[in-house]
Amino acid sequence: MLNSKANENLLEGLNEEQRIAVQSVQGPLLIMAGPGSGKTRVITHRIAYLVQVMGVSPASIMAVTFTNKAAKEMQERVNQLLGSQASNITLGTFHNFGARVLRQYGDILGIDKQFVIYDDDEQKSIVKQSLEEFSLDPKQYSPSAINNAISAAKNKMLRPNEHAAHAKSYFDEIVNRVYVRYEKALLDNHALDFDDLLLKTVLLFQSDQNVLEKYQNRYKFLMVDEWQDTNKVQYLMTRMVAGDSNNLCVVGDPNQSIYSWRHADITNILDFENDNEKVKTVNLGRNYRSTGSIVSAAQSVIAPNANKSDLQLWTDNPQGNQIGVSYNYNEQEEALSVAAEIETLVNQENLRYGDIAIMYRTNAQSRAPEEAFVRSGIPYRIIGGLRFWERKEVKDLLSYLRVIHNPFDSLSLSRIINVPARGIGQKTLSLLNGWAQLNDLSLYKTVTDTIGEHSQHQISNPNEINTRSKKQLELFMSMLGRLTTIASESDVLQLFDQLIESIQYKKYIEEQDRSDDRWDNILELRSAISDYQDFAPEVGLSAFLESAALSTDLDQMDDSGPDAVTLITLHQAKGLEFPAVFMIGMEEGLLPHRRSIDSGDAAEIEEERRLCYVGMTRAQERLYMTIATNRSMYGNYNPGMSQTVGPSRFLKDIPSDLISIEGKSSLKKGIDISLPESSNNILTNQSRKRGGKTSPYNTGDHVKHKIFGAGVVVGCLITPLGNDFEVTVAFKGQGVKRLLASISNLEISD
């Protein structure tokens, strides 16, 4: 019997399409959800509707999304709607689910339930070791490329023997040889990689019908967010769990499919209606996030794509400001222009620094904005730099915890065996690793045998590992034994504190540079561990290590963190929103990227167009798109780029009435764009005029100041009122200063 009161409460405030999506609970459902259309609200209200209105058991519901951050947000919203009942709902990522299944039933496939999860660096380390074993130069055969090829094979469900059958080149043959060795290394280390969490779960379901039926019988209602980003393995996993009841709700937007390089298959959403009988489709096209100008501009950019949905994005929001398009002489002036506009937004428009994001196609583009922000004193944070979990001190302690949890993890054991230094040198470690490889033993077993009273090891000769090294190995292994005992009897926080004390890690940190920062990282790690303090021993350690392994850069974003501008790639920005967004590098060769242009593949250009669409739809109130006509990338400087490459083709699809460009521009005419005579508050090395004023300084001019001395002009901006010039000068021994030309009395010197 339906709970009419709960029904009324849950539907309140939803538009008609959202209500239909929430109330459609039987059979396959496709929700086409445009950016800013309230899809998270629809998913969470649909979950609550199943429980409170339909009387469905929370334990029979599973909701899957792609990031821990999205899962956390969804969990918080479900908690608000359902209270204590929410704890029985399975809500997380595909990888979380796969890890949970394999912890419970992985032994059927010969997987140690105490397996560790190797990250990208650890995977590449195994690949590099494998190449060296085959006497192949890692500089000639990129470990990253080979690791990516192995990942691609796993996402196509190709095991080493199957991959060998598909080999078409010498590189494929190299990949297959490494693939075989790579899989053995994972097995020896009782480890899985990220792809294994998905692949082996599917293999388990395929090989054991009883296990599959347990999950089919438990999960009667399945919801998957970001369906356009699923790959073949995720598709199979989902369909297998959904089973014959097929109460499967998928949510997504083909116009936001930007992860083909991660093996995402856009056809999973485009063909959903053909793959399922009696599919109900609901279109969520109303955008609640962005102004009318931003929505219209984004819709114009995505329109030329052939592979897209019929979903039309629209909004009732005010039209708002036009899209600001700015021309700049080079990336330095582009960055200074952005910095100047940010100061205006903060000082005059009442925005916070945290309300603003700089988005770009490649990580390398962050350098110029970083330098400009340092000069201007603008606080910023970079998403995609050195992750918290990849910092040395964090990885050191994680490696200790992983070895305590799984002593067969030879990579982690190799990392910590002499950290802090305890007299176990590289020679000893090389001998131990060599013996382990020769005899097909784990490093842990090799060390244990070496220090044993009745060691039978003949490592070239018995005396190669000296008495002192053996004594240090004994002390090290004894300490690990004590910590392992503590792990079985105490919570994970107590274990961590004992670990820090046992290895005297604080003293070790204090002897290094930036010790305060490093110790702060350790305290932050301790804080993360404290979340698992109430778990039973072993369970808490396992749960924490799994959470750490599956974390992403975006998980570190905290809305309550410092007030700072966010620097982020367009790929990482998906799912986020900001009042003001600057998309820098809007040029052919960057967006769309040169690789996509050179490929000649229309599908790759379409994905670049979708990436532009995703970036534009992150903006709520203000959107700026900037161009540098002379850009230096990776050490190469390309003067006159506007003639050889030019602004992005995507800009030409935006109607002229939605764009604000200062000065004459052929952009509005829909033809090739040349550098306008005047640009948005940016001066090139060629003097420009505004309001009858000509810039007295050019970038690169050597100047003198009566107080600061000699310096070099690095930028010159027209002030907002157009009656003066702000000159940015790098002074020798004085740093970078911003001065008004009218009162600074700068003298140009030869």
Nearest 5 degrees, angle CA 116-CA 120-CA 122? 60
501 labelled catalytic: no
Q: Tokens at residue 579, please?
A: 């009042």
DSSP track, 181-229:
HHHHHHHHTTEEEHHHHHHHHHHHHHH-HHHHHHHHHH-SEEEES-GGG
Element spanning 704, H or E: strand 702-705
Give counts: helices (H), strands (E), the chain.
31, 23
Q: Is the dihedral of CA 97, 99, 103, 109 positive or negative?
A: positive
Q: Characterize the bridge pairing of strands 619-633 and 323-330.
A: parallel
Between CA 198 and CA 157 the distance in angstroms is 10
Between CA 286 and CA 308 the distance in angstroms is 17
Q: Which residues contact 304 (CB under 8 A, 6 or more apart)?
A: 609, 653
User: Of these residues, 23, 40, 281, 556, which one is catalytic?
Assistant: 40
User: Of these residues, 196, 226, 341, 607, which one is catalytic?
Assistant: 226
Per the CB < 8 A criterion, the answer to whether 225 and 64 are in contact is: yes
User: Of these residues, 17, 122, 196, 225, which one is catalytic?
Assistant: 225
User: Of these residues, 18, 52, 256, 332, which one is catalytic?
Assistant: 256
State CA 255 to chain mean position distance: 19
Per the CB < 8 A criterion, the answer to whether 661 and 680 are in contact is: yes
Between CA 101 and CA 240 the distance in angstroms is 14
225 labelled catalytic: yes
- Within 13 A of 384's CA, how many CA atoms are on the CB side? 18
Between CA 188 and CA 545 the distance in angstroms is 19
User: Of these residues, 17, 18, 19, 39, which one is catalytic?
Assistant: 39
Which of 554, 550, 528, 535 lies closest to 96, judged by CA?
Answer: 550
232 labelled catalytic: no
User: Of these residues, 618, 622, 652, 690, which one is catalytic?
Assistant: 618
Q: Which residues contact 672 (CB under 8 A, 6 or more apart)?
A: 646, 666
Q: Which residues contact 18 (CB under 8 A, 6 or more apart)?
A: 38, 41, 42, 45, 284
Per the CB < 8 A criterion, the answer to whether 49 and 7 are in contact is: yes
Per the CB < 8 A criterion, the answer to whether 428 and 465 are in contact is: yes
What number of residues does the chain have?
Answer: 750
657 labelled catalytic: no
Which of 428, 425, 429, 393 lies closest to 411, judged by CA?
Answer: 429
Catalytically active residues are 39-40, 225-226, 256, 618
